Chain A
Amino acid sequence: MVSQSLPHAGEFGREGARGVLWLERAHEWVVTVDHKKIGLMYIAYSLVFLAVGGVEAMLMRIQLAVPDAHFVSPEVFNELFTMHGTTMIFFVVMPLLFGFANYLVPLMIGARDMAFPRLNAFSFWMTAFGGLLLYFSFIGGSGLYGAGSAPDVGWWAYAPLTAKAFSRGHSTDYWTLALLVSGVGSIGTAVNLVTTVLSARCRGMTLGKMPLLAWLNLVMGGMVLGAISPLTAAQVMLCVDRYLGGHFFDTQAGGSAVIWMHFFWVFGHPEVYILVIPAFAFASEIIPVFSRKAIFGYPVMVAATVGIAFVSFSVWAHHMFSVGMPSYGNAFFVFSSMLVGVPTGIKIFNWLGTMWGGKIIFSTPMLFCIAFLFQFLIGGLTGIMLAAAPFDWQLNDSYFVVAHFHYIIVGAILFTIFAAFYYWYPKFTGRMMSETLGKWHFWLFVIGFHLTFDFMHIPGILGMPRRVYTYMPDRGWGELNMIVTIGAFVQTVAVLIFVVNLIRSYFVGQIAGNDPWDAWTLEWATTSPPPPYNFAELPTVRSRRPLWDIKHPEDPDWKYE
């Protein structure tokens, strides 16, 4: 037992101190290899960075609310958008998704833990360290000899802006090294997820009988292994350029700026599918429960996901349509980018098919999933528009694209993450979140989201580029930017309500019991929260919904699947 390695309470504490010292409790968390604790640490870590990234966004939105503003300097603004993007992707959404996957996958496949518990802990701490390293750049900024300030090269760090000649000091190096470090963490988690799903399923649970969340995290894990490697390679090459006299991307010495773009986007595009596929997983678990029907077309959902994963590795240069590739090169990427929309659309149709003929319950998790469906549809369609390269020649790198990807990252991914919080919080803590606060959170966030991101498409159409710290008053972008900023404030209020709900419910939330939602997957077969060993006895399953079979012995799934 871990706590026996520490002195007894009373040796350091007061004589007769009751209970476990906070030091012992903290120590327990620091050295844990329990997938549930690691999952919660990932989630807590992400929420802190969500607040930080949100503050960065608000500072930018205040600066952009009126033309020619001087709220922040151009240097600070450029650091803000770089840090906002890098933080949100690598230190908010990815850790959130890894956290939920860590907690849920072993439970849902009837296992006691992940396949490699110590690798699991190592991966978390590497990711965490990466985030701290990135943010140290702010502190190291003014005064510490040799340290730079926060990176300001954009989250894609295009060459040759990142060359020593154009990025003096060490700010770019913080970006590179922080992501290299957290990349190691991501690869570790991916290895763990893939191995766990492939080898630790309980008896009777063939691949065709495991929950979609397990399938989609398996696919996501595979994609991480394929996508992080080119990023790591590119970052190592960048370090060689900056410090060892290399010229991979050094255009002044014959290097290629475009090859950085290829390496980055070969990572970058699959990365956004890595972010969205676990979001699909949440929707695929929550929508059936709140429609009271099994997921429509399980095998097609699996096939579509695998299809998306493969095709998504072939679309990357749609981020580079304006780079000067020849016409047939551009045409290929138009085709692959439009093609990936087909399996994606199929998934939307299957969720629709799940709700069809059901009995939809509008609890907070389902509200967020319904909004997800509409918003993902819209974001996906603006993606199809952008896949038409000539249209992209106009709108690429404008606020239209910023609106499009925030529609997906916030409107689809963050919405399903909120749904996942409301759905699984009872399992993690044993208490329900407040439905009242949840509905306030939902409606305010929907209003704020649409105020910001619907209107954000228009400045792009009017010619507003992204990554500009200000703009001229005669371009007609002022009023629209003001509306966008107001929406951001509304979203902030909504998220604050969510945080209050998270904290308050832990203390006064209604006791949840094992299965508050009358759901069908294995995590609901154990206590809330589960014991460290997950299940007293490892289950044996006969279908995709083991608890449905138990609750409906006259009409079990295994008769019909």
Chain B
Amino acid sequence: MFRSLIPLLASPGATLAGFQPFPPHIFSPASTPAEQIYHLSIMVLIVCAVIFAVVGGLLTYSVIKFRRRSNDDRREPAQVYGSTQIELAWTVIPLLIVVVLFLTTARVIHGIQDAPEPAGAINVTVIGHQYWWEFRYPQYGVVTANELWVPVSDSNQPTPTFMTLLSADVGHSFWVPELAGKTHLIPNQVNHMWIDPQRTGVFLGQCNLYCGVQHAHMLLRVDVATRADFDRWIREQQMPAVEDPAVAAGRQVFETTACVNCHTIRGTIANGRFGPDLTHFMSRETIGAGVLPNTPENLRLWVQDPEAVKPGCLMPSMNMTPQQLTELVSYLESLR
């Protein structure tokens, strides 16, 4: 019965992240904020589990022990109106539990929110857009989109990434569960968060504050790389766009269609800011903030009609001829 719900298009996510032995979750922290939250949540869970066991146990016991039996004489039981001692006991004990939980929690809040920025920190400005992420590295002059590259951090020589969160339109939220709790991106407000990933790998997340029609497809990838790989990535991103004469026709299509109004390709006349920077587009694994894997076929589908792939996204179809499309896609494929 649900076959009809499965689309004919190849399921886009299947080849995205590669094989994941177990889906990512909040109890597999890979970064200090997530780890501190993890320890706090285990403690809170244990306290709650004990409360549940005690109170639930008493409820279960009373429902069984004090049920009216079939041979009951129908006399009313002793009417007990209350007990001051019991009321005091079950007021004071919960209050003490609250105090302990509160103090533990306050400590973790302070540890995460008020953490000072060390000297070696990477700075990233994250700007939320309807339905994609802009990442700017002010220390390096790098601008990219949707896939955040950061170096792995060592406790001996910490290189955390401190992020400034802004929004170009409505509210968004940055959530990669294995790295940190979420922080919102609110227009007209500057927020901050930090991560210090302790192991390399790809960490998935997505926008977590309803931001409009395609909120569900504003996905996040954080690529945590070794320092060497990160530095290499930075150098590659800093270079202007590859100029391959073989795809000059495609570049011509790009520069004469409205693409240049929204997109930037450094080294060309295109310096639009509304859409993602495409200078090193092929260094990304996905298209459209995670909605399709970055393959030539998918790129052609996307450019031909973004609305068909991600209905409600703000990129229009330019109604190109198949010839223009082929040339354009070849050009985009050259932007390594």
Give A residues with C-beta under 8 Å from B.
62-63, 65-71, 73-75, 78, 152-154, 158, 160-161, 166, 251-252, 254-258, 291-294, 296-300, 322-324, 326-327, 330-331, 334-335, 338-339, 341-342, 345-346, 348-349, 352-353, 355-362, 370, 373-374, 377-378, 381-382, 384-385, 388-398, 461-463, 465-477, 552, 555, 557, 560-561
Q: Which residues of A contact B37 (CB under 8 A)?
A: 390-391, 393-394
A377 vs B54: C-alpha distance in the bound complex, in angstroms? 11
Asked if residues A254 and B105 are in contact (CB atoms below 8 Å), the reply is no
Q: Is B268 an interface residue (CB 8 A)?
A: no
Contact among B55, B192, B210 for A348, CB-based, below 8 A: B55
Interface: B161 (CB within 8 A): no
**Cβ A358 vs Cβ B184 within 8 A:** no
User: Chain A residues near B108 (CB, 8 Å)?
Assistant: 390
Contact A377 B23 (CB under 8 A): no
Asked whether A470 and B170 contact (CB < 8 A) given A298-B81, A359-B72, A388-B40, the answer is no
Q: Which of B57-65, B147-155, B239-247 contacts A (4 or more CB under 8 A)?
A: B57-65
Docked Cα-Cα span, A385 to B46, in Å, equals 10
In the complex, per-residue mask of B82-104: 1 if CB is within 8 Å of any chain A CB, else 0: 11001100110011001001100
Q: Bound state CA distance, A297 and B91, in angstroms?
A: 13
A-B contact number at CB 8 A: 305
Chain A residue with the shortest CB-CB distance to B16: A474
In the bound complex, residues from chain A placing their C-beta under 8 Å from that of B318 are none
With A293-B80, A389-B105 given, is the CB distance from A160 to B170 under 8 Å? yes
Of all A-B residue pairs in the complex, the 3 with the closest CB atoms, nearest first, are: A393-B181, A476-B23, A472-B13
Max count, chain A CB within 10 A of own CB: residue among B13, B23, B173, B205: B23
Chain A residue with minimal CB distance to B17? Answer: A474
Tell me, yes or no, whether B276 is within 8 Å of chain A by CB: no
In the complex, what's the smallest C-beta–C-beta distance from B11 to chain A, in angstroms?
A: 5
In the complex, are the beta carbons of B82 and A362 less than 8 A apart?
A: no
Interface contact A257-B186, CB-CB below 8 Å: yes
Total number of B residues with any Cβ neighbor in A under 8 Å: 98
Q: Collect the chain A residues with CB atoms within 8 Å of residue B48's CB.
A: 381-382, 384-385
Q: Besides the contacts A292-B68, A560-B81, what 6 more A-B pairs have beta carbons closer than 8 Å?
A: A69-B5, A257-B189, A346-B87, A385-B48, A465-B208, A474-B17
* In the bound complex, CA of A166 to CA of B68 (Å): 61
Bitwise, B182-206 to A at CB < 8 A (1) or not (0) is 1110111101100000000000111
Q: Is the CB of B102 within 8 A of A323?
A: no
Contact residues of B between 83 and 134, Cβ < 8 Å to A = 83, 86-87, 90-91, 94-95, 98, 101-102, 105-106, 108-110, 112-114, 130
Which of B212-220, B249-257, B259-267 binds A? B212-220
Name the one of A299, A330, A360, A461 contacting B68, with C-beta atoms under 8 angstroms.
Answer: A360
Q: Is the CB of A258 within 8 A of B186?
A: yes
CB-based contact A355/B94 at 8 Å: no
How far does the alpha carbon of A160 sit from the alpha carbon of B128 in the complex, in Å? 13
Is B77 an interface residue, CB under 8 A from the partner? yes
Q: Are B182 and A397 neighbours in the complex by a CB distance under 8 Å?
A: yes
Chain A positions within 8 Å of B76 at CB level: 292-293, 359, 552
Contacts of A258 in B (CB 8 A): 186, 189
Interface presence of B158 (CB below 8 A): no
A560 touching B79 by the CB < 8 A rule? Answer: yes
Separation of A98 and B105 alpha carbons in the complex (Å): 38
Q: Within the complex, what minimum Cβ distance (angstroms) separates B182 from chain A?
A: 5
Closest to B190 in A: A324
Contact A394 B26 (CB under 8 A): yes
* Measured CA separation A80–B169 after assembly (Å): 23
**Per-residue A-contact encoding for B6-45, CB less than 8 Å = 1, 0 else:** 1100011110110010111111000000101100110011
**Interface-central residue, B94, B95, B165, B205, by most chain A CB under 10 Å:** B94
Cβ-defined contact, B2 with A474, below 8 A: no
Contact B109 A257 (CB under 8 A): no
Inter-chain contacts of A341 with B (CB < 8 A): 94, 98
Q: Is the CB of A299 within 8 A of B171?
A: no
Given known pairs A324-B184, A327-B109, the reply for A370 and B77 (CB within 8 Å) is: no
B52 interfacial by beta-carbon distance below 8 Å: yes
Residues of B within 8 A of A390 (CB): 36-37, 40-41, 105, 108-109, 112, 181
B56 in contact (CB, < 8 A) = yes
* Docked-complex contact B98 and A158, CB < 8 angstroms: no
